Structure 1
């Protein structure tokens, strides 16, 4: 009997429903006195034939003294959308052409920076070809038909392709920002057995299951034939594997039998009881998204058995009879609704009668367990560890339900607990640098856990005077000058202003103020005092207008040094003078004779 490798590996995830930690070598470590950390398991090293401790996925440490909690975990945000097969696996029936996977990332103890990565696993045609995983985030690398939202905590398939179904799968994985190296977008990947047996709180799987195609109804001894091209288009390179499943998904059952390889159709003659049920056709081919041959499509068939009758020979009223739970003439048998007719048994008042095809049963209400006929007993979800409380919260069982209480110092609904904001201890007082006078000391504190959204009541800083400081020596400083006094005379005189050495006054041996304490200046009132005019200096003589003969030159001065003002006297004297310049004409003629010596001319005034 051959078993699909991926089906066997994924089946190990489902085993965690019964035991969260799979530790098959625990007794071996105990016998050898190897004491593992509570968050570690005993492992066997095939190379050294020795046993050692290894922290669970997501934890860091040596496995003996330390297994450090990563500080956050990933959970499903809407458990009702899944079929309830375990904490780390969500099985979804793809009844629509659009589906959204949602997760929640919760932190414990302190705030953590993290990111959520999404992957798609392509199951390879083992053993010849590898499986591959493709990263679907960040957003710029997501295919157009996929969308990542809600800060990476939701992946939406806007349309569902043939290769989205089981045994291909999706998963979300949370990682800290500090540990986020660059990775290839598509790479060969095998789900390790260690991760399957001990699923990390940092990863959550999503599996899509198609609606089965019903074949029949058939009776034992009949012959059936399934031709895949009637339901799915195949290519020349397609490889088909037919698998008989004992349950709708081999994810939860390792008893998956390979019926045929490479055939487009199968035929089963003389049906027996074991032949009824689920048969899956897996189609492997080459895909442009990945290098190898991987699963590109699948179809799930349900060979339906006719449980309404039993026939011996031909199917007629003579040879057929209706089975228990049905009524009719043996050829046509219809289900009996026992709940309406109250035929066989009465359920407890709190239980509900549920009719099934050919039978019925009593169902206890949610939170209770039993047959519904004789007993419905409260389920202690807290004792069974089947609750959804935060691992640090207290679980309190109630009749038919339970509730969660966050521990002291935390707030929340018990499922998501956040540490309350509170003041940190005061810092030490600051050092006093002054040796005299006055100086303040300061201490501070911080409001912790801002992610809770709470505010701390009180001040974040505190002040006090430095103790035992003696008064400091004070030097004197001048006060501001007083206004000027009134002038002693109308157009002349003095005015005075004063200042005091009292801002502050010198004390305790301090130095007195430097400078004068009063100041005198001459009064100047230009609006009332007359000013007599005075001459400015004479200007230079004008140049002589002729070179030979007698000419006239002049010079001038102005009464503006200063000008007379406010009734003052004008300048006395005149402001213009003239004079003569040049030589007489007879002298000029004399100079014109070349035989005679030239005598310089002279200015005549």
Structure 2
């Protein structure tokens, strides 16, 4: 068994390792934490009211930097965050802190709930969850890993709820979780662990875009001990240590609510500690931090922890041996010095000096006077009304005015908003008109248009008036007009009873060409034959054919010729040719004459 003997508060502070505790333990600040403010003032550097003075690590120069979540140059502008992340049910958180929820784990699973409010017109966002692994400083870095839906953790309600179905040893403080709102689309798969150290800048003024969740276990109570007693804590009795682990023992401040409080490092690389003689400052919380290499992250990080509470016996004091002769009960207790019980100072008949309006509350070994709700003070001398408005402890909407009243306050939505003061919605009003649309035409007529939008529809109100406006483009010349034909006129009447020609016309006036437009192309007049019956045609003879050759050389013979009635042929009821189309004649010589001529 390896113990390390320590004398409490005689050790040095390991501020690099436990700077993270500032984030968890800080109280709600009444103003911006600006440790270098006087340095910037001395150098005549005037920071924006939403910025703080910072020192560059490389050049040591001082400059202004907008608070986390704000955007701008830190001097002339620091634009408000579009989103604000809050915890959905603050009553489940054990500790106070800006953008921090401390949860004491009592069940095998835990659910983190956040809600996101937006300002402006941005509606699309995602909530991304991270797990932070505290590294063994200063040798190793810290890491963060983006979370997604797994068998161990499930997200729901658009990423605003994360449920850890099982709690692991490395889920506890100083490891932590956080929800961060973003405009970017979600990544497909959970990312690998990446180096990430929380900076002092982030912890002094937490961003409204991020909300932290810290898991803590119930302390293992040791004692009750008297001053001068000895106590020993041997970690393997409570936790199985890996062979390659590194154990660090720290004394934690309580209550966890002071920004300047940092834990005291008691011992390193030892399985246990032993305190031989307890003093007043030795009582309280001691945490054993176990660091080792993890498959989830590349460096040596916190893999387990145990929280111990060394309790003091406040009922009595002893000088020497703890027996009735050497011990006596402390004020607020009564008994024989060995056994002391609490005295109820608030019981009837006891004399307490609380104000009439204050309540007496008995505590273990004492009592206190509690002022009524809405008042503050010791309850004995004074109970003064709390001005929740100036203190910033009211629940009024950012668009509401806070009016302090006796023991309470009243919220009134500002002009331009409607609601009960806790929830204020902007009234629906017309946005400014958009610029007029560009006239794309170079001639003729064209309308210009402008539009406006009815803002804040969530108020349920309607804007009165048109959402669009039109006007003619000015000084546009007439456009050239090409000529186009009119429809054809009806056909003209036919004057003849047979045969004949009819006509129809059209004009270039639909429209008439103007402004340099082209004239009509094509025929102006069309002709067509009348639909009447054709006229009769009388037949005519063709010319006679030649006489046929005489068939004999001596003697007389008959020859003929013909003609036809086809010049022209009769048509459409016309008359045929009159006369005949065949003629005969004689030819040759008488035989006597032939003999005379000796032809035969």
TM-score of the superposed pair, with normalisation by structure 1: 0.70
Tell me whether 1:445 sits opposite 2:451 in the alignment. yes
Tell me, in whole angstroms, the C-alpha distance in 1 between the residues paired with 2:448 and 2:394: 49
Cα distance between partner residues in 2 of 1:196 and 1:291: 25
Secondary structure of the equivalent of 2:39? helix
Q: How has the CA–CA distance of structure 1 residues 515 and 450 changed in structure 2, closer, same or farther, with 3 Å as cutoff? A: farther
State the distance in 1 between where 2:92 and 2:474 align.
68
For 1:17, the equivalent position in structure 2 comes to 28
CA shift in 2, pair 1:92/1:274, >3 Å: same
1:325 to 314, 328, 332: 332
CA distance in 2, matches of 1:46, 1:189: 17
Kept after mapping to 1: 8 A contact 2:439/2:446: no
Deviation at 1:464, TM superposition (A): 7.9
Q: Distance in 2 between matches of 1:264 and 1:245?
A: 18
Aligned twin of 1:36: 47
Task: Please give the root-mean-square deviation of Cα atoms over the aligned residues, in Å.
Answer: 4.5
Tell which deviates more after alignment, 100-109 or 185-194. 100-109
Match of 2:67 in 1: 56
Which of 231, 237, 244 pairs up with 1:230?
Answer: 237
- Take 1:90 and 1:175, find their aligned partners in 2: how far apart are those partners? 20
Task: Give the superposition deviation at 1:166.
Answer: 1.0
Specify the alignment match of 1:396 in structure 2.
403
Shift in alpha-carbon separation, 1:342–1:374, aligned structure 2, 3 A:
farther
Change (3 A) 1:203 1:448: same
Aligned to 1:297: 304
Q: Are 2:180 and 1:173 equivalent residues in the alignment?
A: yes
- Within the candidate set 303, 316, 322, 2:323 is matched to 316
| SS of 1:62 mapped into structure 2 | coil
TM alignment of 1:571-590, pairs within 5 A = none
Q: For residues 226 and 28 of structure 1, do their structure 2 counterparts lie closer, same or farther at Cα, with a shift above 3 Å needed?
A: closer
Q: In structure 2, do the counterparts of structure 1 residues 104 and 460 end up closer, same or farther at CA, with 3 Å as the change threshold?
A: same
Give the Cα–Cα distance (whole angstroms) in 2 for the partners of residues 96 and 360 of structure 1: 33
TM-score w.r.t. the length of structure 2 is: 0.71
Q: CA 1:207 to 1:193, structure 2 compared with 1: closer, same or farther past 3 Å?
A: same
1:291 CA drift (Å): 1.5
- Secondary structure, aligned partner of 1:452: helix
> Matches of 1:145 and 1:366 in 2, distance apart?
43
When residues 413 and 237 of structure 1 are mapped into structure 2, their CA distance, relative to the original with a 3 A threshold, is: farther
Q: Secondary structure at 2:170's aligned position in 1?
A: helix
> Once the 2 structures are TM-superposed, how far is the Cα of residue 430 of structure 1 from its aligned partner?
8.8
Q: 1:364 aligns with which of 351, 358, 371?
A: 371
Structure 1 pair 219–171 and aligned structure 2 pair: CA distance change class (3 A): same
Match of 1:119 among 125, 130, 154: 130
Q: Write the distance in 2 (CA, Å) between the matches of 1:464 and 1:407.
A: 37
Note the residue ranges of structure 1 that are not aligned, 5 or more in a row. Answer: 470-474, 482-503, 507-513, 523-605
2:416 corresponds in structure 1 to 409
8 Å CA contact 2:317, 2:330 repeated in 1: yes
Is residue 268 from structure 1 mapped to residue 275 from structure 2 by the alignment? yes
* Structure 2 residue aligned with 1:82: 93
Q: How has the CA–CA distance of structure 1 residues 76 and 414 changed in structure 2, closer, same or farther, with 3 Å as cutoff?
A: farther
Compared CA separation, residues 196 and 183, structure 1 to 2 (3 A): farther
Any idea what the Cα deviations from partners look like across 1:394-448, whole Å, max 9, x if unmatched? 2222222334333332345545544333354376499798999xx8957553334
Residue 361 of structure 1: how far off its partner (Å) = 0.9
Shift of 1:215: 0.8
- 1:345 corresponds to: 352
Aligned counterpart, 2:433? 425
Aligned residue for 1:69, secondary structure, equals coil
User: Could you say which residue in structure 1 is the equivalent of 2:560?
Assistant: none
The structure-2 alpha-carbon separation of the partners of 1:181 and 1:200, relative to structure 1 and needing over 3 Å to count, comes to: farther
Is contact 1:78-1:102 (8 Å) kept? yes
Residue pair 1:16, 1:197 contacting (<8 A) in 2 also: no
SS of the equivalent of 2:346 reads helix
Looking at structure 1, the residues matched to 97 and 524 of structure 2 have their Cα atoms a distance apart, in angstroms, of 93
Query: Which of 197, 207, 217 in structure 2 is aligned with 1:200?
Result: 207
**Shift in alpha-carbon separation, 1:304–1:441, aligned structure 2, 3 A:** same
Match of 1:136 among 121, 125, 146: 146
State the match for 1:221 in structure 2.
228
**Closer, same or farther: CA 366–428 of 1 in aligned 2, 3 Å:** same
The structure-2 alpha-carbon separation of the partners of 1:350 and 1:131, relative to structure 1 and needing over 3 Å to count, comes to farther
Separation (CA, whole Å) in 1 of partners of 2:137 and 2:126: 33
Do the aligned partners of 2:26 and 2:258 also contact (CA within 8 Å) in 1?
no
The alpha-carbon deviation at position 380 of structure 1 amounts to 0.8
| Residue of structure 2 equivalent to 1:567 | none
Displacement, 1:24? 2.7
Q: Give the CA deviation at 1:3.
A: 2.7
Aligned to 1:526: none
Out of 384, 387, 404, the residue aligned to residue 380 of structure 1 is 387
Partners of 2:322 and 2:25 lie apart in 1 by 43
Q: Deviations over 1:367-394 (max 9, x none)?
A: 2111123332211121122334444432
Bigger relative contact order, structure 1 or 2, given CA contacts below 8 A and separation 6+? 2
Q: Would you say the 8 A contact 2:181–2:210 is kept in 1?
A: yes
**Could you list the per-position Cα deviations for residues 330-350 of structure 1 after superposition, in whole angstroms to 9, with x for gaps in the alignment?**
222211222223513153454
Asked if the contact 1:97/1:160 (under 8 Å) is kept, the reply is yes
Counterpart Cα distance in 1 of 2:22 and 2:101: 13
Bigger mean CA offset, 52-61 vs 460-469: 460-469
Output the CA distance in 2 between the equivalents of 1:377 and 1:100.
Answer: 39
Greater alpha carbon shift after TM alignment, 444-453 vs 369-378: 444-453
Judging changes above 3 Å, is the alpha-carbon distance between structure 1 residues 85 and 131 closer, same or farther for their aligned structure 2 residues? farther
Q: Is the aligned partner of 1:277 residue 2:287?
A: no
Q: Distance in 1 between matches of 2:79 and 2:168?
A: 40
Q: Secondary structure at the match of 1:17?
A: coil
- Judged with a 3 Å threshold, the aligned counterparts in structure 2 of structure 1 residues 412 and 157 are, in CA distance, closer, same or farther, namely farther
Match for 1:3 among 10, 13, 29?
13
Please give the alpha-carbon distance, in whole angstroms, between the structure 2 residues aligned to 1:90 and 1:413.
27
Preserved contact between residue 315 and residue 333 of structure 2 (Cα < 8 Å): yes
Residues 81, 208 of structure 2: 8 Å contact kept: no
SS of 2:380's partner is: coil
Name the CA shift for 1:275/1:467 in 2 (closer, same or farther; >3 Å): closer
SS of 1:296's partner is strand
